[in-house]
Structure 1
Amino acid sequence: MQNSEFKTPFFMIDENKLIENLKIAQHLKDISGAKLVLALKCFSTWGVFDIIKPYLDGTTSSGPFEVKLGYETFGKETHAYSVGYSKEDVEAVSTYCDKLIFNSQSQLQAYRHLVKEGTSIGLRLNPGVSHASQDLADPARQFSRLGVHQEQLLSESFNCIDGAMFHMNCENKDAGSFSQLLEQISENFGEYLNQLKWVSLGGGIFFTWPGYDIQTLGKSLRDFAKRHGVQVYLEPGEAIITETTDLVVTVVDIVENGMRTAIVDSATEAHRLDTLIYNEPASVLEASNDGEHQYVIGSCSCLAGDQFCIARFDKPLEIGQRLHIQDSAGYTMVKLNWFNGLRMPSIYCRRSNGEVRKLNEFGYQDFKDALSRWRV
């Protein structure tokens, strides 16, 4: 089946592109000895987990439902983490997880007795250094609530944990920068890390970026693990699914008020939220840098500033024409919402043999049930 047979908007995941990233992940595991667990906060489309499972070691979460989803649909190792657990959360996730990571020493002390026997307990540490392009996503930003800072660490906390988690990167495409962060962690936390069995170094390490120096990354991870006698974990999300998925939309109108705007049957506010949150314009497959015809690719939502990007094309756009919004998997499908009651994109996967499988589709009843199922 061709894309033209599917009603827009829809996501199309490409298995071949996904496997390209996964092979790089496997190579990194081979040269570093690190284990990789998929960050479900970035990508939870479990319909393609059978493709991913042979290459990764499990999943990691940021909330109770993600823990259960990873356990039920991925298997292997299931890591649980949350910035703030309730007693009920800890009791629930302890049923499913192999490792449970607390964000603070107060939560560790309050709830560690609830963790089932055999589950490895960890604590998130904040190194005070990071690599992040935007303050909103910087784990070490001023007044950060994410993890325990060095000056607040109590030595007795290490009597009841097996591991630690650092997450201090966001789209770090520089292996040298990451290596420097590891050196600082070793210098500042080494006496604690030497007592542990495992250390997770979080996600945000863009090792599938073109030209990334994966050999340097692998050596840095291997040396760090040997230095402290720990099993190292990484929690990739974006690195696994980058450039694998298009959001396919249709031009439904063209208007002009100082600049031509092609209105499409989708919205960043509803279907590609990070474009709006981080003010990072999308890219369109059909666009041309040297094209003579410039358009705003605008959404059909009521939010005035809701647009995907400004793009140039070799030919004028036409109503009914389809456009492919590229790289639309990470932090996208997990944030879908019903703003304006817009049609939710269906989700498909193009298998390596060319077959297209439908993973999900949504209708009016899903919209209606989202906020109410019963009347007062």
Structure 2
Amino acid sequence: MENTKLTTPYFMINEDALLSNLEKARQLKALSGVKLVLALKCFSTWGVFDIMKPYLDGTTSSGPFEVKLGHETFGGETHAYSVGYSEDDVRQVADICDKMIFNSQSQLAAYRHLVDGKASIGLRLNPGVSYAGQDLANPARTFSRLGVQPEGIDADVMASIDGVMFHMNCENKDVDAFIGLLDAISNRFGHYLDALKWVSLGGGVFFTWPGYDIEKLAFALKAFAEKHQVQLYLEPGEAIITQTTDLVVTVVDIVENGMKTAIVDSATEAHRLDTLIYNEPASIGEADDNGEHEYVIGSCSCLAGDQFCVARFAQPLKIGQRLRILDSAGYTMVKLNWFNGLRMPTVYCQRSSGEIEKLNEFGYQDFKRSLSQWSIQ
């Protein structure tokens, strides 16, 4: 099956690119002793979990359905976390998770009786320091609801749990900045950590970024773990799937109103929501920064400001031409929606053998079912 015969829009996951990131994960684990659990909030396409399982230790979640998915399709350790559990949520996952991490001491007090004897119990702490490019994604932002603030920690509660989770990074590509955060945590919370069994340092540590000093990171993690005698966890998401997946689209029209706009058969609002939320332009595989022909790459949704980016090309774009919107896996495939009733992208994986495997496709009935469950006669 040739790519040119596949109907757009579609995602194409590249197994070789994924394996390249996973080999870096293997290196980090070997040097540091850290365990890595995949953050399903970033990437949940379980059709490629067979590639990931030999390299990672399990999954971590942000809601009950992710806990179930990790348990059923990935295995290994299943970590359950949520900013706000209901009692029903806890009952649903208590028997299938290995670690249950609560966001607050009040939630811990309300529900730990449902978990005791079943899963290792942890609590999220907010260290008050972080590395995040935008305030929207900053766990230590003013009035943050994420984790227990240092001044609010109850020592008796800390003495009754097995571990803690800190999450204070977002796409942190600076190993020295991360080590600075690590030192701050050790200095501020060390007397608590010394009595625990495990510590999760969350996600957002971009150790697969080109040029990242994995050895320096590994030695810092190992020293931290040895100092406090804990098992360390990281919760990578983007680091595992970065630069592995393209969203392939087709130019369906070209219009001009001061600038030329190439309208494609996809939309950020429906298929690449983070582009819109964070106002971070996408990258186009066929673009040429030195090209003479400039276009807005616009979506086919009705939202006036819905566009992927502005890009330059060596040659004029043509209707029917395909474009690759690069790096479209993380926080993208998990946020797909049916806005405007647009065709949902099919999901493929190009295996190392060259074979293209279809993982999932969606049709009108999927759209219809998402809106109501009753048949219309």
TM normalised by structure 2 equals 0.99
SS at match of 2:354: coil
Deviations 1:186-238 (CA, angstroms, capped at 9, x unpaired): 11100100010000000000000011111111011001101100000000000
Task: Give the Cα separation in 1 of the matches to 2:246 and 2:296.
Answer: 18
Give the equivalent residue in structure 1 for 2:349: 349
Give the equivalent residue in structure 2 for 1:220: 220
Task: Give the Cα separation in 2 of the matches to 1:240 and 1:298.
Answer: 29
Quote the offset at 1:158 in angstroms: 1.7
Q: Does 212-221 or 340-349 show the bigger shift? A: 212-221
Give the equivalent residue in structure 2 for 1:187: 187
Quote the offset at 1:160 in angstroms: 2.1
Task: Give the Cα separation in 2 of the matches to 1:146 and 1:224.
Answer: 23
Give the equivalent residue in structure 1 for 2:303: 303
Please tell me whether the aligned partners of residues 209 and 239 of structure 1 are also in contact (alpha carbons under 8 angstroms).
yes
Deviations 1:23-60 (CA, angstroms, capped at 9, x unpaired): 00000001111000000000000000000000000000
1:318 aligned partner, one-letter code: K
Give the equivalent residue in structure 2 for 1:30: 30
Task: Give the Cα separation in 2 of the matches to 1:371 and 1:180.
Answer: 47
Task: Give the Cα separation in 1 of the matches to 2:245 and 2:116.
Answer: 39
Please tell me whether the aligned partners of residues 95 and 116 of structure 1 are also in contact (alpha carbons under 8 angstroms).
no
Matches within 5 A, 1:85-100: 85-100=85-100
Task: Give the Cα separation in 1 of the matches to 2:195 and 2:110.
Answer: 22
Deviations 1:119-168 (CA, angstroms, capped at 9, x unpaired): 10000000000000000000000000000010000001123210000000
Task: Give the Cα separation in 2 of the matches to 1:81 and 1:222.
Answer: 25
1:149 is the counterpart of 2:140: no
2:161 aligned partner, one-letter code: I
Task: Give the Cα separation in 1 of the matches to 2:40 and 2:315.
Answer: 40
Task: Give the Cα separation in 2 of the matches to 1:313 and 1:327.
Answer: 19
Task: Give the Cα separation in 2 of the matches to 1:137 and 1:10.
Answer: 28
SS at match of 1:222: helix
Task: Give the Cα separation in 2 of the matches to 1:252 and 1:346.
Answer: 18
1:176 is the counterpart of 2:176: yes
1:78 aligned partner, one-letter code: T
Give the equivalent residue in structure 1 for 2:230: 230
Give the equivalent residue in structure 2 for 1:244: 244
SS at match of 1:42: coil
Task: Give the Cα separation in 1 of the matches to 2:35 and 2:105.
Answer: 26
2:48 aligned partner, one-letter code: V
Please tell me whether the aligned partners of residues 262 and 298 of structure 1 are also in contact (alpha carbons under 8 angstroms).
yes
Task: Give the Cα separation in 1 of the matches to 2:365 and 2:116.
Answer: 39
Task: Give the Cα separation in 1 of the matches to 2:179 and 2:5.
Answer: 48
List, as ranges, runs of 4+ consecutive aligned residues in structure 1 with deviation greater than 6 Å: none
Task: Give the Cα separation in 2 of the matches to 1:268 and 1:17.
Answer: 24
| Identity score, percent | 74
Task: Give the Cα separation in 1 of the matches to 2:278 and 2:67.
Answer: 27
Please tell me whether the aligned partners of residues 132 and 172 of structure 1 are also in contact (alpha carbons under 8 angstroms).
yes
Please tell me whether the aligned partners of residues 125 and 148 of structure 1 are also in contact (alpha carbons under 8 angstroms).
yes
Quote the offset at 1:118 in angstroms: 3.7
Matches within 5 A, 1:53-132: 53-132=53-132
Please tell me whether the aligned partners of residues 100 and 120 of structure 1 are also in contact (alpha carbons under 8 angstroms).
yes
1:342 aligned partner, one-letter code: L
1:75 aligned partner, one-letter code: G
Quote the offset at 1:95 in angstroms: 1.6
Task: Give the Cα separation in 2 of the matches to 1:328 and 1:224.
Answer: 34
Please tell me whether the aligned partners of residues 95 and 118 of structure 2 are also in contact (alpha carbons under 8 angstroms).
no
TM normalised by structure 1 equals 0.99
Give the equivalent residue in structure 2 for 1:19: 19
Give the equivalent residue in structure 1 for 2:372: 372
The CA RMSD measured in Å over matched residues stands at 0.9
State the number of aligned residues: 376
Please tell me whether the aligned partners of residues 298 and 309 of structure 1 are also in contact (alpha carbons under 8 angstroms).
yes
Give the equivalent residue in structure 1 for 2:206: 206
Q: Does 335-344 or 366-375 show the bigger shift? A: 366-375
SS at match of 1:126: coil
SS at match of 1:319: coil
2:74 aligned partner, one-letter code: F
Task: Give the Cα separation in 2 of the matches to 1:117 and 1:5.
Answer: 54
1:279 is the counterpart of 2:279: yes
Please tell me whether the aligned partners of residues 16 and 351 of structure 1 are also in contact (alpha carbons under 8 angstroms).
yes
